[in-house]
Chain A
Amino acid sequence: MRTVIQLTFGALALAGLTACGSGAAPAPASSSAPAKPGKIAVAATDTECKVAASEVAAGTTTFAITNGGAKVTEFYVYAPGDRVMAEVENIVPGLTRELIAELPAGAYETACKPGMVGKGIRNPLKVTGEHKKLTADAKLAEAVASYKRYVKSQSDTLLVKTQEFVDAVKAGKIDEAKALFPVSRTYWERIEPVAEIFGDLDPAIDGREADLAEGEEWTGFHKIEKDLWIHKDVSKSGPMADKLMADVKTIVEKANAAELTPLNLANGAKELLDEVATGKITGEEDIWSHTDLWDFAANLQGSKAAVQSLRPVLEERAPDLVKTLDEQFAAAEAALEVHRKGDGWQLHNELSKAELKTLSDAINALGEPISKIAPVVAK
């Protein structure tokens, strides 16, 4: 037995010696211990469990648990279903113990168990991201996330405005419907590249009579446009309006659920400009209402939103391109601004050929740097 006692004291002496050299003294019981960098402080008492962070990055996380209570406590990290990911026991009052947990991304719960029994005092812990530093990939991912937020905000308004438009049509309020037509389309045109991912829905919503193939049924905005401006009668347009609303709802759901890539953004920005050049400048888009400039402005804004989402990536990889883009966007916006009229724009048939040419040149000048974005992103 003597040997055991000697060994015990030997261990204690060693512990005592090392204690002098370590400056990692835990904070006094009452305050929440400031953890060393990279450590998450947990201040536990008999009634509380204060975890300094509710969100950590995936990978290895170190918790420093200080027991400021009077009861012995334990600290757990639970995965859903109370699966123990990590735990440290025997945290006696006044003690700080560390727990190293390897956590993949997901939703977890932390728990302090004063008295070592029961469910413990729970706190949610979110673990996010990939276990790596903020690399170029992360910036691209952020670009996509940022653009998706834009799509969400636009599509929310699209639903509201389309509903207003549809209601006006069904109520037979032609003037109100005419005023709402370009407004609701604005939100549609801003995010059209995303909509185009879903092949058959885009033409159902935005198909033009001129582009109709033999035997296809014509539906969507432009059919109602013709009823409003040409037939001047929407008494039979109710079912068509309902179908438009249903289609818009479907596409908004799909658009927000879509997995986008940075390349989608780059290509989308380009597609929107092509739309402007081929449809809006020519006046073919809104051939009866002549509200092409609303669509023009919306396409330009949508294109800019996609480019802005990619901006952090572009600034890193092609700073000169960013400068050119900024200049050309400003030029195109200035060219369009000339034609602002009240809350909206001049009608397409109010513009001279020369004015349309100026707009067209501005768009082409912008299209050139925008077409360079995709290769940069794909690098």
Chain B
Amino acid sequence: MFASYLIGLREGLEATLVVSVLVAFLVKSDRKDKLPQVWAGVGVAVALSVGFGALLTFTAARLEYTSQELFEAIASLLAVVFVTWMIFWMRRAARALSGELRGKLSEALKVGSFAVVVMAFLAVAREGLETALLFFASAQGAATSATPLIGITLGVITAVLIGWGLYVSAIKINLTRFFTWTGLLLILVAAGILKYGVHDLQEAGVLPGLSTYAFDISGVLPADSWYGALLTGMLNITPQPSVVEVVAWAAYLVPTLFLFLRPQRSKTTPAPASSAA
């Protein structure tokens, strides 16, 4: 039960984290009018995942293992691009605020609906298919034991609640701090998504070195523990990453952090010590 719950939580967090930050950001900066686009993106992703999952589960339709990995990899890499763009979009907004240029805020926040839709879509679609397949598999087995289905469902609901909590607390803090903290969080998330995408590319056989591990901390961070699931779900910190994954992760994180934390006036926040990986 708990194992299924953690899987649901992990899969759910991978989607809700980006969406909740995106929503919080839009609400914070008085762009509530963009919210329907977020929900549209999420809705389309969920519908597609469920539809496709049903197709694969209940018809003779087949999806090659490599194709699924490639789909997830490409969606992840696209998500990295969009999330990165969002990070610097928010940074621009923050600068507009700190520079007493509030008048220019709306200018800085001009953003196409398309980008918002795609971002929300990618955030969910990335892991949507896998989650949908997992749901169907557990629903099929529900006749024998409903435990997996209940566990996964509760896990996804918890993930949504955590996303909701993140949104609520982010709404409450002041604007400058909001930008800094959510920006940093998103950089870590994006680095994690990139690492995930690279891992999928390795699994699809596009990149080599899947079993060349950089390190193995599964003793300290069991993949099936609650904190392991949380870390994996939020930041994609896995106990046994391959060398290529770690290199990609660092190659993204370091320059992005540097660019993001460049002094705007004088106030820089040191990066949180989460770069243990």
Contacts and interface: CB of A to CB of B under 8 A. Distances in A.
Interface of A: 1, 3-5, 7-8, 10-12, 14-16, 18-19, 22, 24-29, 60, 70-72, 82-90, 92-102, 115-118
B225 to A, nearest CB: 10
Contacts of B197: none
A84 B200 CA distance: 11
Contact of A93 (B3, B144, B153, B239): B3
Interface stretch (B4-12, B84-92, B106-114, B172-180): B4-12
B210 interface: yes
A162 B216 CA distance: 60
Contacts of B1: 93
27 contacts: A1-B160, A1-B164, A11-B132, A11-B135, A12-B153, A15-B135, A18-B139, A19-B139, A24-B140, A26-B144, A27-B144, A29-B145, A60-B62, A71-B224, A72-B6, A88-B65, A90-B7, A90-B11, A93-B1, A93-B3, A94-B144, A95-B4, A97-B133, A100-B62, A100-B63, A102-B64, A115-B223
Q: Is the interface of A mostly helix, strand, loop or mixed?
A: mixed
Given A84-B205, A100-B63, A90 B139 contact: no
B244 to A, nearest CB: 14
A4 B47 CA distance: 11
B277 to A, nearest CB: 16
Interface residues of B, number: 62
A343 to B, nearest CB: 61
Nearest to B38: A3
Contacts of A60: 62
B211 A92 contact: no
Contacts, number: 147
Contact of A95 (B141, B143, B216): B141
A19 B143 contact: yes
Given A18-B54, A28-B144, A93-B147, A115 B224 contact: yes
B3 A72 contact: yes
B214 to A, nearest CB: 14
A12 B243 CA distance: 38
Interface string B185-229: 000000000000000001101000011000010100011100000
Nearest to B202: A84
Nearest to B222: A115
User: Which of B1, B47, B132, B143 has the largest number of chain A CB atoms within 10 A?
Assistant: B143
B62 to A, nearest CB: 6
A19 B19 CA distance: 30
A34 to B, nearest CB: 13
Interface in B17-33: 19, 23
B70 interface: no
Nearest to A8: B156
B63 A8 contact: no
B151 interface: yes
Contacts of B156: 8
A70 B50 CA distance: 27
B137 A8 contact: no
Interface string B149-171: 10111001100100110010000
Contacts of B133: 97
A97 B43 contact: no
Nearest to B138: A95
Given A3-B39, A86-B65, A19 B137 contact: no
A24 to B, nearest CB: 5
